[in-house]
Amino acid sequence: MNVLLAITGSISAYKTPWLVRDLRRAGHSVRVVMSASATHFVAPLALESVSMQPVIVDPFDPTIQDRGSWHVHLARWADVMLIAPCSASTLARLANGLCDSAVMTVACSLPSTTPLLVAPAMDTDMWQHTAVQRNVQRVQHDGAIIIPPEEGELASGLQGAGRLAELGTIVDAVSRMRAENSGERTIPAATHPTGLAGRRVVITAGPTHEAIDDVRYIGNHSTGTMGFALAEAARDRGALVTLIAGPVHLPTPVGIERIDVTSAVEMHERTMEHADHDVAICAAAVADFMPVDRVVGKIKKDTVAATEHTTLILQRTPDILAALGAQKRPQQVVVGFALESTDLVDYATSKLERKNADMIVANLAGGLQSGFGTTDNTITLITRSAPPESFPPMSKAACANIILDAIERLLPPYDL
Distance CA 266, CA 263 (A): 5
> Least distance (Å) from ligand C5P to the CB of residue 364?
13
Of residues 388, 369, 391, 387, the one with CA closest to residue 379: 391
Q: Does 317 bind ligand C5P (CB under 6 A)?
A: yes
The angle formed by the CA atoms of residues 348, 354 and 358, to the nearest 5 degrees, is 65
> Least distance (Å) from ligand C5P to the CB of residue 335?
8
Distance CA 370, CA 258 (A): 25
> Where in the sequence numbering do the catalytic residues fall?
220
> Least distance (Å) from ligand C5P to the CB of residue 287?
7
CB closer to ligand C5P, 8 vs 317: 317
Enter the DSSP assignment of 91: H
> Least distance (Å) from ligand C5P to the CB of residue 236?
22
> Least distance (Å) from ligand C5P to the CB of residue 171?
26
CB closer to ligand C5P, 127 vs 337: 337
Q: Which stretch binds ligand C5P (CB under 6 A): 36-44, 146-154, 214-222, 316-324?
A: 316-324
Cβ neighbors of 382 (< 8 A, separation 6 or more) are 338, 345, 348, 349, 352, 359, 360, 361, 362, 388
CB closer to ligand C5P, 86 vs 359: 359
Distance CA 315, CA 94 (A): 66
For the chain, the helix, strand and coil percentages under 3-state DSSP, each to the nearest 5: 35, 20, 45
CB closer to ligand C5P, 70 vs 337: 337
Q: Of 82, 286, 290, 399, which one interacts with ligand C5P (CB under 6 A)?
A: 286
Q: DSSP letter string over 325-340?
A: HHT--TT-EEEEEEEE
Q: Does 228 bind ligand C5P (CB under 6 A)?
A: no
> Least distance (Å) from ligand C5P to the CB of residue 176?
24
Helices 130-141 and 88-96 pack at an angle, to 10 degrees, of 50
Distance CA 398, CA 282 (A): 18
Q: Does 319 bind ligand C5P (CB under 6 A)?
A: yes
Q: Which stretch binds ligand C5P (CB under 6 A): 44-52, 145-153, 280-288, 367-375?
A: 280-288
> Least distance (Å) from ligand C5P to the CB of residue 357?
8
Q: Does 379 bind ligand C5P (CB under 6 A)?
A: no
CB closer to ligand C5P, 20 vs 264: 264
User: What's the farthest any 2 CA atoms get from each other in the chain?
Assistant: 88
Distance CA 375, CA 365 (A): 14
Q: Of 104, 226, 290, 338, which one interacts with ligand C5P (CB under 6 A)?
A: 338
Q: Which long-range contacts (CB under 8 A, 24 or more apart) does 95-101 make?
A: 95/134, 95/135, 95/138, 95/139, 95/142, 101/35, 101/36, 101/59
- Write the secondary structure of 152-188 as one string of H (helix), E (strand) and C (coil): EECCCCCEEEEECCCHHHHHHHHHHHHHHCCCCCCCC
Q: Does 337 bind ligand C5P (CB under 6 A)?
A: yes
Q: Which stretch binds ligand C5P (CB under 6 A): 64-72, 177-185, 281-289, 377-385?
A: 281-289
Q: Does 320 bind ligand C5P (CB under 6 A)?
A: yes
Q: Of 119, 243, 280, 282, which one interacts with ligand C5P (CB under 6 A)?
A: 282
Distance CA 135, CA 379 (A): 40
Q: Which stretch binds ligand C5P (CB under 6 A): 218-226, 292-300, 330-338, 397-405?
A: 330-338
Q: Does 334 bind ligand C5P (CB under 6 A)?
A: no
List interacting residues with ligand C5P (CB under 6 A).
Answer: 204, 264, 282, 284, 286, 317-321, 336-338, 351
